[in-house]
Structure 1
Amino acid sequence: MKNIAFIGAGIMGVPMAKNLIEAAYSLTMHSRTQSKAQPVIDAGGTWAQTPAQAAKDADVLITCVTDTPDVEKVLLGPAGVIETAREGLICIDMSTISPAATRKMGETLAAKGVTLIDAPISGGEIGAIEAKLSIMAGGPEDAFNKVKPIFQAMGRTITYCGPLGSGQTTKLVNQVMVIHTIMSISEGLAFAEAAGLDLETTLAATSGGAAGSHSLKVLGPKIIADDLKPSFMVDLQLKDLKLVMEYARQIKQTLPGTALAQQLMTALQAQGRGRDGTQALIDVIRQLGPNTK
């Protein structure tokens, strides 16, 4: 399994693909915009004009794109993977999309002898660059074991979560927890700011205690520096929260805190800030209080 096709050249996809090349895999790259894939091509990757061309000689094909319709188009649409996929191909979708749609796509691909694994990721841009992603995989366990070395070239925590769709469902759980962490960081630092505390001192004190977390370590300094560069964009966070709330309705599980976070993120998006990093949530919290920084 040395020939990999990789589709998607976003914030996460580019460093993930480069790490695979560094691990001595032969990699063919496709994205909607060729210029975004140029760093991968410069690192030794080969360009493919379409997903079908990328899949033609691949043993494994990885998708890391934005949303459910994007994955469906890449895998099953015109000039898509299904047009040239050989029997035995393993497709790994590392996007965050609908678990139900994942299962349907898996059935369609299986009819052509292609196996789908859903393996969404967490860890942000830094995790992708440093090959320290958390990877949550669903699908046939024997296929998961075959591609595990590929996962190990991109991530540190690799977990088999169960049948197809289980990886996506686990990622939605992750996103519920993440958005609450971002909310707590935003509220805590807005509170500290309004109370007149020095934010750098506050961050140093809280990072070393029970409030300490990876998110606080990464996002806290960005908030203090007014750095809105995204490790994860507001638009993408809202896409994930929509998936969470849709699934929560299906299984009749109430998520009141997540619903509130979704509303506050929506307010941020309505201000034209969908491409800001999720740390920009603090500005919505500030707007609800006396601090108008």
Structure 2
Amino acid sequence: MDKVPALDGKNIGFLGVGAMGSGMCLNLLKKGAKVGFLESKAAKNTELIEAGAVTYSSIAELAGNSTEVILCLPSSVEVMELCLGDIGVVAHIGTGNIIIDTTSSFPAETLKLHEVCKQAGVRLVDAPLTRNPEDARVGRLNCVVGASDEDFAAVKPIFDAYCENVVHAGEVSAGHRIKVLNNALSLSCAAVVSEVCAVARASGADLEKLLELAVLGGANSPQFVGMMRYHLDGDKKALGFGIALAAKDLNYFNIMAEEAGLTTRLSPHTGAYLNDARDSGFGAKTLPALIDFVEPGLKT
């Protein structure tokens, strides 16, 4: 007897079928889920339709036909816009059903949404992601989850469809808190690497030899290697994370620190650095392009 696909019978609505979301949807479909997304006159996602996804004309229709709705959006702003109000997801998804927010959202906003969901009898799970769109397509993302034990068990098979590693961090908003902290670590590394590379190039040092040495010690990380491979090999897929999104995430970290009553010293500089890059026309570029932003500014 053939094995029943892990998500057979699931009706999942998906909001945010961009580079990351499309790959996630393809893996959900492969695991047997019925997946639906919003029609778009601007861009028709024929790949998903050919793979078996259905389209809906409104959020109300999408949410009303889904037992889970997954959000993969730019920020908390878009999450709240699509979830709240008379035409939002919360109003139409149905009592007992689940909203899964994979966006890198701000934890305080997640708690506000959680309160709205509770009043409506809707369950909220936060499950932000790490890694990149290529990993999404091959089902090798990481996610960190904020949910009750019961809700985590209910949605774990969904995460297994597109993730290699799943970490249950605690109750609702715990996933978003850990994601903000993780991004502060990785984005600060990217900022430092961009300055080091700029100084290396200006001083005539061999970047290949720097990479050869650094991977043997404590400076090694996927972030460092990705930055270096972009500049040494022209690998345009390395660290496919936009600078505008990076600036947003560092700003989230700085606000989170302030709300905890802390005055940080290093992260405001990294945040300002990313904000400057975004405002200088680098927002749509990926993190390795930081070196091209910073190098002219270092010249005296």
TM-score, scaled relative to structure 1? 0.91
Mapped pair 1:209 → 2:217: yes
Q: Indicate which of 264, 275, 279 corresponds to 1:266.
A: 275
CA drift at 1:171: 0.7
Mapped pair 1:189 → 2:200: no
The answer to whether the 8 A contact 1:194-1:290 is kept is no
Q: Indicate which of 272, 275, 286 corresponds to 2:284.
A: 275
Mapped pair 1:3 → 2:4: no
CA drift at 1:290: 4.2
Q: Indicate which of 78, 81, 85 corresponds to 1:70.
A: 78
Greater Cα offset, 233-242 or 128-137: 128-137
Q: Aligned residue for 1:224?
A: 232
| Cα pair distance change 1:116/1:288, threshold 3 Å | same
CA drift at 1:217: 2.6
Mapped pair 1:244 → 2:260: no
Q: Aligned residue for 1:91?
A: 99
The answer to whether the 8 A contact 2:169-2:178 is kept is yes
Which amino acid is 2:108 matched to? A
Q: Matched residues in 2 for 1:191 and 1:81: separation?
A: 49
Greater Cα offset, 269-278 or 188-197: 188-197
Which amino acid is 1:252 matched to? G
Q: Matched residues in 1 for 2:157 and 2:287: separation?
A: 32
Q: Matched residues in 2 for 1:38 and 1:261: separation?
A: 39
The answer to whether the 8 A contact 2:230-2:236 is kept is yes
Question: 3-state DSSP class of the match of 2:282?
Answer: coil
Q: Matched residues in 2 for 1:78 and 1:237: separation?
A: 32
| Cα pair distance change 1:288/1:21, threshold 3 Å | same
Q: How does 1:102-121 map to 2 (within 5 A)?
A: 102-121=110-129
Which amino acid is 1:147 matched to? V
Question: 3-state DSSP class of the match of 1:156?
Answer: strand
| Cα pair distance change 1:36/1:268, threshold 3 Å | farther
Question: 3-state DSSP class of the match of 2:200?
Answer: helix
Identity of aligned residues (%): 28
**CA displacement 1:112-159 (0-9 Å, x = unmatched):** 221001111111223322322221111222011111011111112211
CA drift at 1:18: 1.1
Q: Matched residues in 2 for 1:225 and 1:180: separation?
A: 23
What stretches of structure 1 of length at least 5 have no aligned partner? none
Q: Matched residues in 1 for 2:139 and 2:192: separation?
A: 27
Q: Aligned residue for 1:18?
A: 26
Question: 3-state DSSP class of the match of 2:266?
Answer: helix
Question: 3-state DSSP class of the match of 2:298?
Answer: coil
Question: 3-state DSSP class of the match of 1:210?
Answer: coil
The two structures, once aligned, show a CA RMSD in angstroms of 2.1
Q: How does 1:46-85 map to 2 (within 5 A)?
A: 46-85=54-93
Q: Matched residues in 1 for 2:264 and 2:27: separation?
A: 37
Greater Cα offset, 169-178 or 96-105: 96-105
- Paired residues in the alignment total 291
CA drift at 1:45: 0.8
| Cα pair distance change 1:179/1:36, threshold 3 Å | farther
The answer to whether the 8 A contact 1:63-1:93 is kept is yes
The answer to whether the 8 A contact 1:30-1:37 is kept is no
The answer to whether the 8 A contact 1:90-1:114 is kept is yes
Greater Cα offset, 200-209 or 154-163: 200-209
Q: Matched residues in 1 for 2:189 and 2:53: separation?
A: 37
Q: Aligned residue for 1:284?
A: 293
CA drift at 1:204: 3.3
| Cα pair distance change 1:189/1:20, threshold 3 Å | same
Q: Aligned residue for 1:126?
A: 134
The answer to whether the 8 A contact 1:4-1:27 is kept is yes
Q: Matched residues in 2 for 1:77 and 1:224: separation?
A: 49
Q: Aligned residue for 1:178?
A: 186
Question: 3-state DSSP class of the match of 2:120?
Answer: coil
Q: Matched residues in 2 for 1:272 and 1:226: separation?
A: 20
